[in-house]
Structure 1
Amino acid sequence: MSEGFDRELEDLPPPLRWREWMARAEAVLFASSDPVPRERLARVVGRDCVLDDLIEDISIELGERPYEIARARGGWLIRTRAKHGAAIRAALGDEDLSRNLTQNEALVLTIIACLQPVTRREIARLTGREVGRELIARLSREGMIARGPRSPEPGAPYSYVTTPEFLLRFGLETLRDLPDFEAMEDAGLLSRRAETALDLPIAAQEEE
């Protein structure tokens, strides 16, 4: 921390102290391209500052702004609101933004997120289609998935897991924020024990 930096601001009355802490926290979030963890924000506010309350007050003030504070990877970040995506694409072009996932990629990513660690073979059993290496490679290049442990099944293929970038892109703090797997399994949407393939649209041309 910078020498002489006053975190406590004891010379200010409580309302002004709180406003200054809000401004500091917002400035730190605005300056960072990655989620800011709690311990880093704590460096710019007083020991008695309740960070969750502070962030909530900042979020309320941003209510009419085109950006918002979101939880991600155990911290907070400022991001543009989804409803302004079309305007951003019109101004910047798609090449400056994360591309939208195809239907097939989104489906495979959902299965990996819910069943991880999971192999391509297991995904293929669920979908009734081959899941091509290129599809997996695209998700990997974009940082959405990574290799997990080798599976004990014949050939010891690699399994796949999601990454911190996956959480960030979809505004999740942890994997616990995903839909409840047991509920999806009870509904027949996903199951490792499925004896018959699900009728899901994995493109046939994306075979190995």
Structure 2
Amino acid sequence: MLDTELEHLPPELRWREWMGRVEAVIFAASVPVSRDVLARVVGRDCNLDLLIDDIREELRGRPYELVSVAGGWQHRTKKAYADAIRAAFGTASGQGGDQGPKPLSQSEALVLMCIAYFQPITRGELSTFFGKEVSRDLIGVLRSQEFIASGPRSPRPGAPYTYVTTKTFLSHFGFDTLRDLPDFEALEDAGLLSKEKLLAGDIPIVSGREELLSNE
């Protein structure tokens, strides 16, 4: 049994040990680590938010940082080192040499963007949205990269499957929750995005959110 309370240690050393445990668990994980998992290695009275803040402060001068994504925490290399990582591994992955998902085509990115904003949505609704059929193969690409998954059955005749985004989607594009997506109405009001342009396949890249249209 792991001693999580560490009552034999003075408060400062106890805090340092908890910090080390939490960082080690996050470092060893290949996916974002949830609060529930981290709570298994620290004491009942440990404030995980303050602990994470202290770890982030210690990493301030390092080439990687601790980020909140997909409902958990994960180590990511800082954007300033993307060129160096790309030169070494042929990718700008935030996790060392992990190649990650393949770059999306423009049509794949558009469909993924539509699913993200209007989920749960059926393939038929996507096809109607774009004015042309969204192929099963395209949906298959997004599923194979684990960006989308089957959602609840639609109440429409035949009860077709709907599609929703996944935690992999959140993690890959650096979102903690779907609430972090740029507000669609705000983008329309600012003239940066419109349903008409989305339907026409003519979407300008939104400043600061280029990742929605590209893996780089």
Task: State the TM bucket, normalised to the shorter chain.
Answer: 0.7 to 0.9
Q: Which of these residues, 12, 32, 51, is aligned with residue 15 of structure 1?
A: 12
Contact 1:118/1:159 (CA < 8 Å) preserved in 2? yes
Question: Structure 2: how far apart are the matches of 1:197 and 1:177?
Answer: 20
- The offset of 1:197, in angstroms, is 7.6
Question: Structure 1: how far apart are the matches of 2:124 and 2:5?
Answer: 57
| Count of equivalent residues | 196
Aligned to 1:91: 88
Alignment of 1:124-139 (within 5 A): 124-139=127-142
Specify every segment of 5 or more residues in structure 2 that has no aligned partner in the other structure, as ranges. 92-96, 204-216
SS at match of 1:198: helix
When structure 1 is superposed on structure 2, of 157-166 and 182-191 the one drifting more is 182-191
What fraction of aligned residue pairs are identical, expressed as a percent? 59
Q: Residue type matched to 1:121 in 2?
A: G
Contact 1:68/1:79 (CA < 8 Å) preserved in 2? yes
Alignment of 1:189-204 (within 5 A): 189=193, 198-201=199-202
Alignment of 1:1-208 (within 5 A): 2=1, 5-94=2-91, 96-98=98-100, 99-153=102-156, 156-184=159-187, 189=193, 198-201=199-202
TM-score by length of 1: 0.78
- The offset of 1:150, in angstroms, is 4.0
**Cα distance, 1:6–1:102 mapped onto 2, change above 3 Å:** same
Contact 1:72/1:172 (CA < 8 Å) preserved in 2? yes
Bigger Rg over Cα: 1
Contact 1:150/1:156 (CA < 8 Å) preserved in 2? yes
Specify every segment of 5 or more residues in structure 1 that has no aligned partner in the other structure, as ranges. 203-208
- The offset of 1:152, in angstroms, is 4.4
Question: Structure 1: how far apart are the matches of 2:28 and 2:120?
Answer: 35
SS at match of 2:121: coil
Contact 1:37/1:74 (CA < 8 Å) preserved in 2? yes
Whose RCO is larger (CA < 8 A, sep 6+)?
A: 1
- The offset of 1:55, in angstroms, is 0.4
RMSD of the alignment, in Å?
2.9
Question: Structure 2: how far apart are the matches of 1:101 and 1:63?
Answer: 32
TM-score by length of 2: 0.76
